[in-house]
Structure 1
Amino acid sequence: MDYKEHQANDLRYLELLSRQYPTVQAASTEIINLQAILNLPKGTEHFMSDLHGEYEAFFHILNNCSGAVREKVDILFENSISREERAKLATLIYYPEEKLEEIHETVADLNEWYKITLNRLIEICRLVSSKYTRSKVRKALPKDYGYIIDELLNTNYEVHNKKDYYENIISTIIDIDRADDFVKSLCGVIKRLVVDHLHIVGDIFDRGPRADIIMDLLMKHHSVDIQWGNHDVLWMGAATGSRTCIAAVLNNSITYNNLEVIETGYGISLRPLALFANEVYRDVDTSCFAPKMFGDAVIYNAKDLELAARMHKAIAVILQKLEGQVLLRNPQFGMEDRLLLDKMDLEKGSVRIGEGEYPLLDTAFPTIDRENPYALSDEEAAVMEQLKFAFLRSEKLQRHAKFLYSKGGLYKCFNGNLLFHGCIPMNPDGSFMKFDIGCRGLSGKSFMDRAEAIARQGYYAKPGTKEKQFGKDFLWFLWCGRNSPLFGRDHIATFERMLIADESSWAEEKNPYYSYYNDEGVCERILEEFGLRGPHCHIINGHVPVKSKDGENPVKAHGRLIVIDGGFCRAYQPTTGIAGYTLIYNSWGIRIAAHEPFSTTKDAIEHNKDIFSATVVFDRMESRIKIKETDNGARLQRNIDDLKCLLQAYKSGSIKEDHA
C-alpha cells in the first residue's frame, strides 16, 4: 500500500469515526473523558483455577472475592462494630436473599435493622465505587434502583438539606416495603464493583458434582475470560458429538460417582448405557470398576453399586476401543504404543506394555473381538449413537460449549500476565517442543495458536468433513495426548489404573516444562515468546495441584510463575492439604490467597462462616497502577490518538462537522 492509499484509508476511517463524534465539541469531550479515565487506578482482577465442579466453594469465593469484600468491611467498620457484626454484614453481602430470610425470623425491630444496614451497605458501596468513573458505576447499577443508588452514592452529607434528602430516601424505601429488594441490589453492586474482571485458568469440569451450575454463574458474570483446561476441552469435544470424548466424559463421571451433572445438569439419559451394561455384564466380574467414593458421596444400595460398576466397565471398554480408533486414524499423534487391547493375552491373563508384561486384574471382556479388538460391537455402536444424539441435543450443554468457545482459549496475555492451564511443551534440554500435528514443526506460541484454531475447527467445521473429524480427534488429543499443552504428560494411564495392580505401571511422566518452571530464566524466555517483558510480568498456571501440606510453594521462579491449583476439588484435598489458591491483582500489586476447605453454603449462612484465607502479597508495585498502564489503557490511548486526528481533520476541513 503506497502513501496515498494509506492516507485515503485513514480518511475513510475518520469519516466513520465522525458519525459517532460529529462535531469538534463531541470529539473534544470524549478526549477529555478518556484522558481522565487513564489516570484512575486499574480495576481489580480475580484469578481462579481448577474448580472441578465444586460449585458451592466456587460461589462462595466468587461472592467474597477471595476475601476482598471482608477486607472492605473491616476497613470501614473495624473500629466501630464487633468482629461478629462484621462477619454478619459480610455474609449478608455474600448471600443476601438467604440471610434476609434468617433476619426476618431473628430480628425484633426490622425497621431499625434496615436503617443501620442500608447505611452501612451504602458506605461500602461508596468505597468500592470510588476508583471508577461515575459513568462506569452507573452502568453497573441495577435498572430498578440505579437512579436512587446513584443519588445516595453522590450525596454531600455535610450539607443539611442533602442529609435530610438522604435520610428521607432510606425511610421511604423502608416504609413502602422495598428494603429487602434494595438490600439485595446494594449487595449485588458491591460484589460487582469489588472485582472488575474474572479469570478462570481452566478445569471447570469433572470430579466435583455440578460444573453446569458453575457455567451458569460464569455466563451471568459481567466480565470473564477462560483459559481452557484439559477437562474443559474433553466436554467441548463431547458437545461436538465426538464419541471418544463422550465415552471419556462418562468414564470420568462414573469413576468419581458423579452422574448428577450428566443426568440432572444436562438432562442426558444414561438409560441406553445402563440397559446395555445390565445385559452384557450382569454375570461378569466388575470388581475393578467400582466407582470411587469421596466425602459424603453415597450410592444408596448394593444394586446401585453393582449397576454403576457394570456401566463403568461397559463404557471403559468402549473408551479403549474408540481411543484406539483415534490413534489408528492419526499416526501423527505418535501414540501407537498406547494401543493396548491387541497387546492383551486373555488366556494368559497379562498385557504387554513397552518392554514389560503385567498380570491383568480382569480378563472377562465379552465384547472384545480378538481379530479386531478396536471395533465396537453392534450393540456398543448403537449405545454410542444414542448417547451422541443426547449430547448433541442437550441445549444447556451446547449453550455452555459456545460460551467456552466465545470467552475462552488456550492462553491469554492480560495486563502483563500470561495465563494458561497446563504447560508450554518443552524438550529435556529446555527448548520448546515442536509438533507436526495439523501443522509442520510449530512450537511455543505458534503451536498454541495453531492448536486453538484446530480446537475451534472441531466445533465449527462443517459436519461430515475431514476438518470436522480431525478437529474432534484433536480435542481428545488436547485432553490426554502425549505432551499436549493442556495435559502435559507422556500419556494418561487409564488402562493401567483399571486393570493392573502394579502401581509402577501407572506413572504418567510429566513434560520437562514442570522441571524447568522453577527456573526464572526459562520463565522469562516463555514470557518473551508471548511478547511480555518487564519485572512485573508473570505466568499464571493451573493444572498441577500444589502440595501445600508438604511445604510446596505455589510461587515459583522468584515470583515469575504462580500455580493456583491448590485443591478446589475435594478428591485432591488429602494430597494438597488446602482447598485451592486464588489471586487478586489490584492497583497496588498481586497477592495470593490459600483457602481452607469449604463446609457448606448452609453453614456459611447460618453461622456466618467464611472460608479462611491466608493471604500473601508477593509483587507490590512501586506506585499505584493507573489504567493508562494496562491493556485497556493502551486501547483508550489509541482511541484518544484517533480522536485527535479527527479534530485535525475538522480543523483542516478534510471532514466537515455535522451540527444537525
Structure 2
Amino acid sequence: MKDKDYLKLLAEEYPTISSVSSEIINLNAILNLPKGTEHFLTDIHGEYEAFSYVLRNASGVLKLKIDDLFDDELTNEKKKKLATLLYYPEEKLDLIKKEAVDIDSWYKDTLIRLIKICRVVSSKYTRSRVRKMLPKDFSYIIEELLHEEEERLNKHDYFHNIIHTIIDIDRADEFIIAISNLIQRLAIDRLHIIGDIYDRGPLSHKILDDLILRRSFTDIQWGNHDILWMGAAAGSLACITNVVRIALRYANLATLEEGYGINLLPLATFALDIYKDDECKNFIPKKPIENYYQEKDLELLSKMHKAISIIQFKIEGQIIKNSSNYKMEHRLLLDKIDYNNFSITIEDKNYKLNDKNFPTIDPNNPYILTKQEERILNRIKECFLESDKLQKHIKFLYSNGSMYLKYNSNLLYHSCIPLNDKGKFRKVELGDEKLYGKKLFDKLDFLARMFYFNNDQIDKKLYGEDIMWYLWCNGDSPLFGKDKMTTFERYFIEDKMTHIEKKDPYYKFRDNENVLNNILEEFDLNPYSSHIINGHVPVKASSGESPIKANGKLLVIDGGFSKTYQSKTGLAGYTLIYNSYGIRLASHEPFESKIKAIKEEKDILSTLELLEKMDKRKYIYDTDKGKELEERVEYLKKLLSAYRMGLINENVQ
C-alpha cells in the first residue's frame, strides 16, 4: 500500500495484467543476456583520424571477429580487405569495384560474410534493441537476414533470393554501407571518454561531432583541457586566452577557425603591429604541421602567440589578485620582473629573462590591459559566445559529462584524487568548506555547471572569480594534479629547474593497493572487485612503464593518442575493452593516415592483452543496468499483485 501512488503512475504505462506480465517476461529475458562491451578511450587531443579508426575497428575487436569467423575460408589478404571494407565502406567500395572481375560474385560473398559478422555482434542484444538500431532503408531486410540461416531447410532459397535481389536492383553498395555502420555500432555497447578531447591535435570539433552522433551510449569524464574549453564557451577571459595560446603553440587553428568560426584577424593585425621587429623566437609553434604553413605564416603565428600569452598573464594576474582563496599569489610574476635589467626574482632567486621586449606592459601596473588588448579580447570573447557549433558541443559535454563516473564497479576520472604526502585524502578549501574525495568532486561538478548555466548565482567571494580556470591550473584541482603551471617560465627562463611542475602525491601512491582501496571505498565501491581508470599522464611504455598499477587495481590508459607525446610513450594510445568475459587492454601503434588505411589496407597494429578474466561470464543482471531492471521487475510484480487484489483497476479498452 505504501507504493500505491507510484504503482498508479506505473499503471498508466502498463494498464493491464497482460501488459505487466509481458514486460516482466521481457525484462527477465534481458537480464539473462550477456553484458555488453564497454570501450574506454582517453586523451584524444584532437587526433580525429586515429580516434575514428579505433572506433571503427573497436580497438581491433572486429578484426578478431573476422579472424575467428573466416580463418579457414579466407586468406590473410582477403581478411584484411574485408576488414578495411567494414571500417571504411564508402571509400573502399570505390576501389574494389575498379579491381573486381566478377562484381556480382564478390557482392554475394561479401554480403553473406557481413551478415555473419552482424549476427555475432548483435547476439548480445534483444531483437527489439537491434531493431531500433537498424538503418531505416534496410531494417526489414537486415532483420530477416539476421534471423534466417541460409543452411536451414526450406530457408536456403528464401535467404539467397534476398541476396540476389539486393544485387539485381543495384542496392548492394548502399546495403554494404548500412550493414557495416550497423556492425560498428553493435560492437560497442557503451563508450567512455575519460577526458581531454580538446587541444594539440587539429580536429577536436570533428571528434565532438562523432560523439554527438553516439550520444545515447557515450559518457565523458571531463579532462582539464575540456574544462578549459567549457570555461571559454561561457566567456571566461582566462580560459579563452589559454585556448587561443595553446592553438597557436601547436600551430593548430583548424578547430578555432574552421570548426567554430573564431575570428583571430584582430589578434593577427595587433601582433604584426606591436611585434613587427620582434622575431618572437620563444614563441615559434612547437611542432608545426609539415608542409602546411609557410615560413611567413609561422612568423605571424609566433607574433600572435606572444601577444596572446602576455594578455593571458595579465588576465590571470587579475584573477589571482581578486581571488585570495585560490592561494596562487606565487604565480603573480609580471610584477616580479626588473624591466631595466630584464630579470625576474622567483622564490628569492634571480633569473635572467631570454626576452627583453614587453611593449604592452606598464612596469608600474603590469596586469592592466592596454585599450587595444582589451578591445581584441572582447571581440574574441564575442566569437566564443556566439559560435553556435561551439555552444552545441559544450552543452553536449555538460549533458553527457561529469567530473567522475561510477559504472559497473569501475571508477572513472581523468586525473587524480588530491592526496597528502602520507597517501591520505587532502582537504581542499573551497569557499567556507574543507572538502576531499567524493564530496570535493561533487562540489566541483556542481560549480562547473553553475559557471556555464547560472554564473551570476555563484558567490565570487566564496568561490573566486573563475572556477573553470581554477580547475584548469590550480594546485588543488583534481583535473590538473600539479602544484603549478609554469607557462611563463617555459617561455622566458632558460633554467629548466624553473619549469618543473611537481605532481600531486596521488601519482606516488598509484601503485599502493591500500591507498586505492580507500579511494574506491570513498566512492562507495567494493575495493575487491572494482577498478580505477585514469588518463591525463602519458604512460612511458618505451621506458618500461606499465599502464597497469597496483596489480590491476588502477589502469592508466593514456598511451599517446596525441602525436606530441608519441616520442615519449613509444605508442599511439591505449584503449580498454570490458566485455562479458573480461577486461582487455589494447595498445596501438601510430596511425599513418586514413588514405593508407583504405588503399594499402594498413590496419593499426594493436596488441590485445587480457588483464582480467571473469570467473564466470557476466550477464546484464551483474551490471548497474541490471540492478535498475531488477528493481523495475519488483515494482511490476507489485503492480501485478495490486491488479489481482483489486487495489488498482485494470484499464481494459
Alignment TM-score, normalising by the size of structure 2: 0.98
In 2: Cα distance, 1:288 partner to 1:155 partner: 66
In 1: Cα distance, 2:509 partner to 2:457 partner: 42
Q: Which residue of 2 aligns with 1:4?
A: none
After the TM superposition, which parts of structure 1 deviate over 6 Å for at least 4 consecutive aligned residues? none
- Cα distance change on mapping 1:553 and 1:465 into 2, 3 Å: closer
Task: From 599, 606, 618, give the equivalent of 1:613.
Answer: 606
1:458/1:470 contact within 8 Å kept: no
Amino acid at match of 2:557: I
Instruction: Show the 5 A alignment for 1:191-590.
Output: 191-221=184-214, 222-293=216-287, 296=290, 298-301=292-295, 303-461=296-454, 473-590=466-583
- Cα distance change on mapping 1:469 and 1:171 into 2, 3 Å: farther
Q: Which residue of 2 aligns with 1:130?
A: 123
Deviations 1:233-292 (A, max 9, x none): 001111001111000001101011111111111111100100111111112351211111
In 2: Cα distance, 1:538 partner to 1:279 partner: 54
Deviations 1:456-493 (A, max 9, x none): 11100155975699587111111111131001000011
Q: Which residue of 1 aligns with 2:76?
A: 83
Corresponding position: 1:62 with 2:35 = no
Deviation at 1:161, TM superposition (A): 2.8
Deviations 1:104-146 (A, max 9, x none): 2111211111000000000001111112111111112111111
Task: From 172, 176, 179, give the equivalent of 1:179.
Answer: 172
Corresponding position: 1:42 with 2:35 = yes
Deviations 1:203-258 (A, max 9, x none): 00001111001000100114100000000000111100111100000110101111
The more displaced of 582-591 and 435-444 is 435-444
Number of residue pairs aligned between Structure 1 and Structure 2: 652
Deviation at 1:535, TM superposition (A): 2.9
2:548/2:555 contact within 8 Å kept: yes
In 2: Cα distance, 1:109 partner to 1:409 partner: 53
Amino acid at match of 1:300: Q
Task: From 646, 650, 655, give the equivalent of 2:639.
Answer: 646
Structure 1 vs Structure 2 CA RMSD? 1.5
- Cα distance change on mapping 1:18 and 1:468 into 2, 3 Å: farther
Q: Which residue of 2 aligns with 1:149?
A: 142
Q: Secondary structure at the match of 2:345?
A: strand
In 1: Cα distance, 2:213 partner to 2:311 partner: 37
Amino acid at match of 1:234: L
Q: Secondary structure at the match of 1:523?
A: helix
Deviations 1:404-463 (A, max 9, x none): 000001100000000000100111111111112235001000000000100111100155
Task: From 91, 97, 100, give the equivalent of 1:104.
Answer: 97
In 1: Cα distance, 2:255 partner to 2:634 partner: 50
2:267/2:304 contact within 8 Å kept: yes
- Cα distance change on mapping 1:469 and 1:178 into 2, 3 Å: farther
In 2: Cα distance, 1:534 partner to 1:464 partner: 38
1:333/1:482 contact within 8 Å kept: no
1:439/1:450 contact within 8 Å kept: no
1:288/1:499 contact within 8 Å kept: yes
Amino acid at match of 2:405: K
In 1: Cα distance, 2:606 partner to 2:327 partner: 44
Deviations 1:509-549 (A, max 9, x none): 00000000110111111111111105331000000000000
Deviations 1:330-356 (A, max 9, x none): 111111100000001121111111122
In 1: Cα distance, 2:269 partner to 2:575 partner: 43
In 2: Cα distance, 1:317 partner to 1:541 partner: 33
Query: Where do 5+ consecutive residues of structure 1 fail to align?
Result: 1-6
Deviation at 1:188, TM superposition (A): 1.1
In 1: Cα distance, 2:170 partner to 2:461 partner: 57
Q: Which residue of 2 aligns with 1:3?
A: none
Q: Secondary structure at the match of 1:508?
A: coil
Q: Secondary structure at the match of 2:136?
A: coil
The more displaced of 436-445 and 399-408 is 436-445
Amino acid at match of 2:304: M
In 2: Cα distance, 1:67 partner to 1:472 partner: 46
Query: Where do 5+ consecutive residues of structure 2 fail to align?
Result: none
- Cα distance change on mapping 1:30 and 1:583 into 2, 3 Å: same
- Cα distance change on mapping 1:93 and 1:625 into 2, 3 Å: same
1:257/1:297 contact within 8 Å kept: no
Deviation at 1:81, TM superposition (A): 0.6
The more displaced of 100-109 and 64-73 is 100-109
In 1: Cα distance, 2:361 partner to 2:120 partner: 66
Instruction: Show the 5 A alignment for 1:619-638.
Output: 619-638=612-631
2:319/2:465 contact within 8 Å kept: no
Q: Secondary structure at the match of 2:57?
A: helix
Amino acid at match of 1:335: M
Amino acid at match of 2:417: I
2:335/2:366 contact within 8 Å kept: yes
Q: Secondary structure at the match of 2:20?
A: helix
In 2: Cα distance, 1:275 partner to 1:31 partner: 68
The more displaced of 510-519 and 185-194 is 185-194
In 2: Cα distance, 1:339 partner to 1:552 partner: 36
Amino acid at match of 2:613: R
- Cα distance change on mapping 1:570 and 1:641 into 2, 3 Å: same
In 1: Cα distance, 2:432 partner to 2:409 partner: 29
The more displaced of 104-113 and 145-154 is 104-113
- Cα distance change on mapping 1:157 and 1:299 into 2, 3 Å: closer
In 2: Cα distance, 1:322 partner to 1:470 partner: 17
1:459/1:471 contact within 8 Å kept: no
In 1: Cα distance, 2:277 partner to 2:424 partner: 53
Alignment TM-score, normalising by the size of structure 1: 0.97
Amino acid at match of 2:98: E
In 2: Cα distance, 1:489 partner to 1:640 partner: 47
Corresponding position: 1:32 with 2:25 = yes
In 2: Cα distance, 1:380 partner to 1:349 partner: 23
